[in-house]
Amino acid sequence: MESPDSRYASSNEAPPKQEQQQQSSPRNSHDDDYTEKSTYTRFLVSNAEAGSVIGKGGSTISDFQSQSGARIQLSRNYEFFPGTSDRIIMVSGTVNNVLKGVELILDKLLNEFCLEEGDAEPRSKVRLVVPNSSCGGIIGKGGATIKSFIEESQAGIKISPQDNSYAGISDRLVTVAGTIEEQMRAIDLILSKLSEDSYYIQSMSTPFPYAAGYNPTNYGPNGGPGKFQNHRPNNNKDDRNSNSVTIGVADEHIGLVLGRGGRNVIEISQVSGARIKISDRDDFMSGTTDRKVTITGSQRAIRIAEDMITQKVSSATDRGE
């Protein structure tokens, strides 16, 4: 899989105007006033899926923009939606163009990541990112609106509860499950409701409000209350050279870094590009009960890995785990 190209991680490049005029709506159930409204949608993709959408040298994302007339942006490869390891993709333009852009992306991801041989009607899930204040319109009085959307689209639609675990989070996830046709009908219906919400349209100006989610937390000289202790050698500042940094993580929190079956540490290594080694039990930083976590790679890779480790530990310990 081609790794994401930073030029397209948050592209300012608008699609050609000529292509925009040539597109027709993938859904014909709405009047011209609706389909020509400016709107957007955001949804989550894994880092591998993001790489697939971008394509070699940005070829796929450019092609999708040309075909749909929509603008397609992605958060960068270390900028995740809080509580997940998924990036945010935003598709913006007229309703027609947005729906076409989303359909192109979902179809590609379905074929590359979900389709199994002999599966006549493959089903998948897409998680839309919707401002919390806009979710009431989707739900409707007594849940009437969401029920009607489910009946009309035949897709499963679920809205996550508001997550108070992360400071400043103002979005909820709307999961749409079904065949791609069912998903697209549901997304069309959801967009039609969101397009009536002035706040939703205004929030288009901040597509990735969680981009700083992995900024390092500042701790005291001994790493704060039993969390981190940072020992940085003097390294060459050239990112092309391999450097090594050892940080201390409290023994009782090392499981948060490892994850079940080593899942977290593998994810951190894959996303950052750094190699991560955790010391054996009873092998502590000098004068502490902190385990050694050695991060090796370019300075950029080390920084990303260290920030991700900080986030995993601090988010869990702040919740009292």
Together in a domain, 292 and 161: no
Together in a domain, 263 and 185: no
Together in a domain, 123 and 234: no
How many CB atoms sit inside 10 A of residue 54's CB? 28
Together in a domain, 189 and 73: yes
Query: pLDDT tens across 228-244, in order?
Result: 444 444 444 444 457 88
Nearest of 122, 126, 86 to residue 105 by alpha carbon: 126
Instruction: Assess contact for 283 and 272: CB atoms under 8 A.
Output: no
Q: Grade residue 147 by pLDDT with cuts at 50, 70 and 90.
A: very high
Look at residue 196 and tell me if it is in a domain. Answer: yes
Place of tokens 């060459």: 236
Look at residue 222 and tell me if it is in a domain. Answer: no
- Model pLDDT, residue 320: 55
User: In this predicted structure, which of 120-129, 135-144, 184-193 has the lowest mean pLDDT?
Assistant: 120-129
Q: Which residue has the higher pLDDT, 54 or 36?
A: 54
Look at residue 210 and tell me if it is in a domain. Answer: no
Q: Which residues contact 49 (CB under 8 A, 6 or more apart)?
A: 109, 112, 113
Domain containing 276 equals 228-318
CATH of the domain at 120: 3.30.310.210
Supply angle C-alpha 184, 190, 193, rounded to 5.
145
Look at residue 219 and tell me if it is in a domain. Answer: no
Q: In the predicted model, is pLDDT for residue 304 greater than 50?
A: yes
Together in a domain, 198 and 235: no
Q: In the predicted model, is pLDDT for residue 85 greater than 90?
A: no
Look at residue 191 and tell me if it is in a domain. Answer: yes
Cα–Cα distance measured from residue 139 to residue 130, given in angstroms and rounded to the nearest whole number: 12
Look at residue 79 and tell me if it is in a domain. Answer: yes
Look at residue 223 and tell me if it is in a domain. Answer: no
Query: pLDDT tens across 241-271, in order?
Result: 578 888 888 888 888 888 887 888 888 888 8
CATH of the domain at 290: 3.30.1370.10
Nearest of 295, 301, 294, 308 to residue 240 by alpha carbon: 301
Place of tokens 């997304």: 187
Number of domains in the chain: 2
Helices (H), the chain: 17-22, 32-35, 47-54, 59-68, 95-109, 132-139, 144-153, 180-194, 198-202, 254-258, 263-272, 299-318
Together in a domain, 189 and 250: no
Together in a domain, 53 and 108: yes
Q: What percent of the chain has pLDDT over 90?
A: 32
**Sheet of strand 71-74: strand arrangement:** 71-74, 87-94, 38-45, 124-131, 171-178, 156-159
- Model pLDDT, residue 61: 92
Together in a domain, 295 and 195: no
Rg (CA), the chain: 22
Helix (H, G, I), strand (E, B) or coil at 84: coil
Look at residue 61 and tell me if it is in a domain. Answer: yes
Q: Of the spans 18-22, 76-80, 150-154, 254-258, which averages the highest pLDDT? A: 150-154
Q: Which residue has the higher pLDDT, 163 or 304?
A: 304
Q: Grade residue 164 by pLDDT with cuts at 50, 70 and 90.
A: low
Together in a domain, 35 and 156: yes
Q: Grade residue 30 by pLDDT with cuts at 50, 70 and 90.
A: low
- Model pLDDT, residue 223: 34
